[in-house]
Structure 1
Amino acid sequence: MGIRGSVAVVSDLPLRSSSYSSSRRTHQMPSSKTVSTCAPQEELGTHLFHILGYSQHRAAEAFIWSDKFTVLGHDWRLSFGPLGTAGDIVVAGLHLMGINMKVRASFELRSRLLNQGTGPSLTVHKEASRVFDTNERSRCALCVVKRKLFESTTYLQDDRLTIECIITVSKEPRVTGTKSFPRIEVPPSDIVEHFGKLLETKEGVDVTFSVGGVDLKAHKMVLAAQSPVFRAELYGPMKEGGTEPIVVEDIHPDVFRGLLHFIYNDSLPPFDDLMEDDYGEMIHHLLVAADRYAMERLKLMCQSILCEGLHVQTVATTLALADQHHCDMLKDACIEFIICSNAMDAVAATPGYKNLKRTCPSVVIEALEKTSRIRRA
C-alpha cells in the first residue's frame, strides 16, 4: 500500500470484521406489546313467588316452596315458613337445587304489592355475592324476618303475599383473545447513509484537498461539524483564504480517505484490500490523523483496536505511539500488558523497545523495568 513511514509495522492484530462499521450504530431492542381484556359476566334473574290464601298457610304453620326457576342455567327455589311456635318470626330462603352444583351469586328478597307492575316494594333481605354449593351447607341462604313486615296492609292485600327474588349470578369472566397493541414502526435513522452517499456522489462538494498529489473532494460543512480543526481551517481565522486545493502534508491519501469515510459514515472503512500487517499500520496512521484533527471518537476507536491486538512484538511500538499522541488509556493498557504477561525480557529485545527508550520519557522505562524486577524477585 506504500504508507509505511515513521510508524513501524504492527503484526498479530485481530482480523477485520464488519463489526468495526456496525459497532457505532444504535440498535433498538426488539419489543412487542399485546393486549387482552378480562370482563366480568353476570346474568340477572327475577322470580315472583305469589302466595295465595296467605292466612290459610299461616294457620297451618308449615313451610311452603316455590317451583324451580332458572337463572344462568342453574335451578333455584324459594322457601317461606314460620320460625318456632311463637309465630311472629318467619324464615325466607333461597336454595340452589341439583347435585354437585356450585355457583357464585348475590340476591335480594322483597315483599311486593303488584299493581300492574308499578306497585311499591320493601326489601326484607339483601346479600352480597357469595358461593352456593349443593354439597355444603352453603346450598341455601336464609333470612329471619318479623312477620309483621309481610302482613302490613301495604303488602298483604286480598289475602295474597308476593315475594320478589332478584338474583345476580356470576359466571367465568370473559377474556378476549390477545391482540397486538396498535403501533407505528419508526425505522432506524439512516442519516449516516445519506451522508455517506454525499461522499460517494460528490454532489455539492465545495472543498478540495491535495494529499500526496491526489485530489480529494468534500463538503466544508460536514467536515466542520465533525472536527474543530477542520472548522478552524475552513471557517476560522486560520482558513486558507480561498486557495484551492488545500495541501495536506504528512498524510497518505489512503489514510485521508479513511478519515473522510469516518466523518461521513461514522464508521471505519472495511479495508478489505489490506493484509493484516498493513491493516494494523493503517490503524496507527488513522490514530495519528484523528489526533491531528481532534476527532476523539475515531481516536478512541483506533485505541480500542490496537489494545485488542497487543502482542509482545508490537506493544513497545504501540506504547510509543500512545505516549506521543496523549492516549493515556492505551498507554496504561500497554504497560499492564507487559506486567501481566511477564515478558519484559522478550519486549526489551524488540526494535520497538529500543525506539521507545529514545523517544519516551525515561520514567516510563524505569517504571517498566522496576516492575519487571519485582515480579522476578
Structure 2
Amino acid sequence: MGNTIGSSSSPVKQDVPETWSTSFTEGDTAAHNFEVTGFSLLDGMGAGNFVSSSTFFVGGCEWDITFYPDGWKAGGGAHASAYLRLCNGELGLQTNYTLSLLGKDGQVFVQGSIEHTFQSAGIFWGFEHFVQKSKLRRLLSDNEDCVTIRCVLTVMRKHDTLAIPAPPSNLQEDFARMLKDEEGADVTFIVGDKSFRAHRHVLAARSPAFRAELLDPTKDDPTKPVKVDDMDPVIFEALLYFMYTDTLPHGCDLEKSVTLQHLFIVGVRYGLDRLATMCEGKLCQNINEQTVATALTLAEWYDRVHLKNACIAFVSSQDVLDAMKETNGFKHLMTRYPGVMVDILKQNLPSSIGVRKQVVWMQRGRTPISRNMKRRASRVRHAVLPSVCVLALALVGFCIPHPQRLLTSQPMLGFL
C-alpha cells in the first residue's frame, strides 16, 4: 500500500555596590452616566432623601452615584447634593474623580473635581452644594425634565515592585504562518488534485493516528508523498489548519452542514476531540429539516449526547416530521437506528394524543369544534401516526437493506 492514508552622559563610576527598587502608581479610570428622568416628580421630596445609580466597577471596587434633589441635610434646600459612594471593595484606596451635570448633547453645566481616600465601605464623598436648585430648574425646562450626572473616576494603586506585562500570545499566528509558508516542511499529502506540505512532527504531536503513520520506523521511504483517499481537499485543508492553530479557519464552506459533518467525523477518527466538539456545536446551531436526520445518525453512531438532544428538541418543537421523512438521511437513520423514533415520539405523542381525545370529545356534541383543533387533529393523523407505523415495523424486526456507508461521500481514512 505504501504511504496511503484514508486527511551626553557618560557612565558614572560607583565605588560601592548599589541596589534598586521602584515604586510606581497605576490608575484604573472609567466613567459612569446616571440619567435622572422625571425630575419634577422628585423635586420637593425633602432633605436627606436621595436616588442612586446602579452600581459600577472601577479598580476592582463597586461604586454608585448618590443624588439628593433637595439637599443632603435640612437647611440646604437651595442646593442639590451629589456624592460618590464606595459600596464594596478594598479600603484605603486613593481616588480622583469629577462629578458633572450634563444637559442636552452632553453640554457640561456644573462640574467639580475632588481627591479622597475611602477608608470604609458605605461612605459617600462629594458635593453638598452641587448645583443651585434655581439653576437646575432652568436646565430641566430646556431638557425635557431630565438631567445626567456623569462621574469620571480614577482609582490609584501603589506598588513596590515593577511588573512588566507580557505581550499576548502569538503562538497561533506563528504556527499558521509556518503552515502557509511551508518553511521546513518535510511531508507532502496528495488529496484529490491538490497537494499540501506540512511538518510531520507537528502532526504527530497533535494526533496519535498521524503519529503512527508518519513516524513508523518500518516505512521504506518516509519521504514519499502520502496519498489521502476519499477526502475533499477543503476538509483536509481545514484539518491541517486546526492541527496547527487549534482553531477553525474562516470561510463560508465551513458553515455548510455537510462540510461540518465530514470535519466532525475526521476529528473523531483522528483523536481530535476539540475539533469534533467544535463541529458538534456548530451542527447543533445549524439544524434544519434537511439535515436533522443525518445529524441524528451521527449523534447515535458517535454517541454525542448534546447533538442528539438538539436534534430531538428541534423535531419536537417544530412541525418538521413530514419533511424530515422525505430526506435520504431519514432512510439511513431508520436503517441504522430505528429505535431513535421512540425518543422523538416521546416528545410528540402525549400532546398529540391529547388533541385527538379532545377532538373526539368535541365531536360528540359537548363543545363546538374550532377550525384550529381540526387542523391540529389532521396533523396528528398525517404526521404522527405514520411515524408510529415506522417504529412498529422497526421494533418487530422489519428488514431494511443495510447501507454500506453512514453518509454519502463520507471520508474513509485508510490507516484508521
For normalisation by structure 1, the TM-score amounts to 0.48
Structure having the higher Rg = 1
TM-score (norm 2): 0.44
**Bigger relative contact order, structure 1 or 2 (CA pairs below 8 A, ≥6 apart):** 1
- Larger strand share, 1 or 2: 1
